[in-house]
Amino acid sequence: MPFEIERAPDKRSSHSSVSEREALNYLSSAVLLVDEDGIVRFANMQSRDLFACEAHPGVALSTLLQTRVVSGMIDLAGPKGTGCDTSLRFTDGRSVWAAARPVPSGGWSIVFQDVRMALAQAETTDPVTLLANRACLSSTLTAAIGAACDPVLFAVGLDRFRHVKDALGHEIGDALLRRVAERLTSLADSCDLAARVGDGEFLLLKARAMDAGETTALADRIVDLLSRTYAVEGQMLNVVAHVGVAMACREIATPEDYIKRADLALAQARSDGVGVRFYEPVLAERMEVRRRLELDLRRALALKQFELAYQPQIHLESGTIGGFEALLRWRQADGSFVSPADFIPIAEETGLILPIGEWVLRSACQAAAHWSHPAVVAVNLSPVQFRNRGLTQNVVAALAHAGLPPERLELEITEGALLEDTEAVIATLKSLRSLGVKVSMDDFGTGYSSLSYLRKFPFDKIKIDQSFVRELEHDAEARAIVRTIAALGSSLGIKITAEGVETQGQLEEVRSHGCDYVQGYLTGRPMDDAAARASLARIEDRVHGT
């Protein structure tokens, strides 16, 4: 038991006093309570271990220190309220840091921390959440594998965490991480280990065998609990959790194997937009394909293998070309093309979309500046580009370098660029509009909040998603949606483009419903810049009667 000598009178109940002092026994540090005369009145269990002595009534702090300390001293005679920090050398060679602080009711509390233990703890502990770090988890996982415990590893990732930190600051972000850590550890047993391994990334190790049903149930609980709203510093915060699971199998020999598999499953869960994914061998194959494609993508950027195609947007009333949409193409060395559906997601994940997007913007503006007819050129913006603070400056630079009037540039954004940080999004849209460029919403109708954005920002154009256009000839619901969007645009003064028109029947439908522009293979396939110039030149010829 810890020693306690002549407890000082306490105005509170004895039950409260005992409870508070007993709680000190659960601290990892040694703690002494010393009265104003330097007499030790209480020592927790860790202090008894540190000083390796039995209690005797009224022992003076100086006497206690003399039994174990060979250098250093604790000076309690300094100015009141300032405290005292000092380094002590014990007889067994240990270095111990002592921090003495005045207690409001009188006397001092002194906390002792073994320096080597503190350093060891720092090497294995995440400083923000106080969970284990990657090194500690890897060591524990090594032991579990060696003991044939068939452990299960859960990789946990938080979507929207970076947005919270960027918008509200690192302090709020760290506080949120601590709340997430509390919830995650509440799902862990005493033999489990939770670790923080990255910004918004955690691992939970179950150091025992679990069947698939039990594992799925726990993974679902992690997703549910960690995705609930957090109240942090007066802010109501929301993140979305995804979980990747790696279960024991004979092919796993190292902690890295486990962690890699759990990470691959987590990446797949995020990609699929689902809460939980288990590792499957096919995920490793997909990752290798993705890795090779990323390397090829970086090489393509360096070797300038990208090019632009231009698809005409036809004004239905006049039948003339109102503009072209610039479409990115990647032509490999053998002449084959890589589908944008394959490489754009990788470019967005790796950040390569930023330099690629800048190239597209500059090239499209440069091409349009040399067209004989003042048609508009439309450029798609990725959500990653839209979050880039330098977007407006990039647009200004592209226009200035090409000498293109701002009103001839149209920037197309999808709802994905609008989902986060609405105020900042609207500010960016307004800054772009102030330049004189046009802004359109692409893929309209596929998102759940498209209409709300029309109230907040006056888009110049709405592009009806081609999934509705495809169904026009045989789906009454699709016809109703297109008709409603066209009517909405007319009432708000917003031009409407129907994209993906491939048949004469679809063309007649969009015309009858009041769309302003049409884009698709029926009215014009993507073409290179020379063909786009030729198309516009024919318009000029008709205008001038030549």
Q: What is the DSSP string of 23-74?
A: HGGGSSSEEEEE-TTSBEEEE-HHHHHHHT----TT-BHHHHHHTTEEE---
Residue 25 pLDDT level (bands cut at 50, 70, 90): low
For the residues 85-95, what does the mean pLDDT come to? 81
Q: Are 207 and 176 in a shared domain?
A: yes
Higher pLDDT pick, 420 / 188: 188
Q: What is the pLDDT of residue 12?
A: 39
Residue 46 domain-assigned?
Answer: yes
- Residue 450 has a pLDDT of 60
The mean pLDDT value of the chain amounts to 84
187 within some domain:
yes
Chain segment 469-499, per-residue pLDDT in tens? 998 888 899 899 899 989 988 888 999 999 9
- The 10 Å Cβ neighbour count of residue 258 is 28
Confidence at residue 510, expressed as pLDDT on a 0 to 100 scale: 93
- pLDDT higher than 80, residue 458: no
Residues whose CB is less than 8 angstroms from the CB of residue 476 and which lie 6 or more positions away in sequence, other chains included: none
Q: Is residue 342 part of a domain?
A: yes
pLDDT at 349: 84
In this predicted structure, the answer to whether residue 449 has a pLDDT above a threshold of 60 is no
Using the predicted structure, report yes or no on whether residue 134 has a pLDDT greater than 80: yes
Predicted pLDDT of residue 75: 79
Same domain, 138 and 267: yes
Which 8-state DSSP code applies to residue 335?
S
Buried b (16+ CB within 10 A) or exposed e, 449-459: ebeebbeebeb
How many Å separate Cα 28 from the centre of its chain? Answer: 34
- Residues 304 and 400 grouped into a single domain: yes
Q: Which pLDDT band holds residue 399 (cuts at 50, 70, 90)?
A: very high
Provide mean pLDDT across the span 22-36: 75
Please indicate, yes or no, whether residues 275 and 296 belong to a single structural domain of this protein: no
Q: Is the pLDDT of residue 55 over 60?
A: no
Range of the domain at 33: 14-118
Sheet holding 84-90, edge to edge: 40-43, 30-34, 108-114, 95-102, 84-90, 69-71
What pLDDT was estimated at residue 35? 87
Residues 255 and 298 in one domain: no
**pLDDT computed for residue 157 by the predictor:** 94
Nearest to 239 by CA among 180, 283, 289, 282: 180
Which one, of 471, 479, 532, 523, lies nearest residue 502 by Cα?
523
Greater confidence, 304 or 84?
A: 304
**Tell me, what's the pLDDT at 447?**
58
So what's the pLDDT on residue 29? 76
Distance in angstroms (rounded) separating the CA atoms of residues 223 and 158: 10
Q: Please say if the pLDDT value at position 18 is more than 50.
A: no
Domain boundary residue, one of 86, 118, 150: 118
CA 111 to CA 90: how far, in whole Å?
15
pLDDT for 9 = 41
End-to-end Cα separation, the chain, in angstroms: 106
Q: Considering only 73-77, 127-131, 234-238, which range has the smallest mean pLDDT?
A: 73-77
Q: Is the pLDDT of residue 240 over 50?
A: yes
Q: Is residue 532 included in any domain, yes or no?
A: yes
What distance lies between CA 311 and its chain's CA centroid?
34
Query: What's the confidence (pLDDT) of residue 14?
Result: 39
pLDDT > 60? residue 166: yes
pLDDT band at 21, cuts 50/70/90? Answer: low
Q: Are residues 21 and 93 both part of a single domain?
A: yes
Q: Is residue 544 over pLDDT 50?
A: no
Domain end, chosen from 118, 142, 161, is at 118
d(CA 329, CA 312): 16
Residue 444 maps to a domain: yes
277 sits in which H/E element: strand 276-278
> Measured between alpha carbons, how far is 246 from 206 in angstroms, rounded to an integer?
11
Please give the pLDDT value at position 297. 93
Rounded (10°) CA dihedral 284, 352, 303, 529: 120
- Separation between Cα atoms, residue 413 and residue 386, nearest integer Å: 8
**Residue 352, pLDDT score:** 93
Answer whether 391's CB lies under 8 Å from 356's CB: no
What is the model's pLDDT at position 97?
A: 81
The pTM of this model reads 0.62
Residues 462 and 492 in one domain: yes
According to DSSP, the β-strands at 40-43 and 152-159 are: unpaired
Candidate ranges 36-40, 166-170, 208-212, 374-378; pick with highest mean pLDDT: 374-378
Q: Can you point out the beta strands (E) in 63-120? A: 69-71, 84-90, 95-102, 108-114
* Max CA separation in the chain (angstroms): 115
Q: Smallest Cα–Cα separation from 205: which of 149, 126, 277, 123? A: 149
Answer with the one of 258, 279, 300 that is the final residue of a domain: 279
pLDDT number for residue 446: 66
Identify which of 55-69, 164-178, 429-443 has the greatest average pLDDT.
429-443
> Does residue 501 contact residue 510 with C-beta atoms inside 8 Å?
yes
Name the pLDDT band for 524 (thresholds 50, 70, 90): very high
Domain count, the chain: 3
Answer yes or no: is pLDDT of 48 > 80.
no
Angle made by CA atoms 89, 94, 95, in degrees to the nearest 5: 55
The answer on 364 and 430 residing in a single domain is yes
Task: Of 69-73, 230-234, 472-476, 504-508, give the lowest mean pLDDT range.
Answer: 69-73
- Work out the percent of the chain whose per-residue pLDDT is above 90: 38
C-alpha torsion 271→272→276→279, nearest 10: -70
Claim to verify: residue 433 and residue 348 sit in the same structural domain: yes
Q: For residue 261, give the nearest of 103, 146, 153 by alpha carbon.
A: 153
Across the range 271-291, mean pLDDT stands at: 87
Buried b (16+ CB within 10 A) or exposed e, 267-285: bbbbeeeebbbbbeeebee
CA dihedral angle for residue 51, residue 57, residue 61, residue 63, rounded to 10 degrees: -80
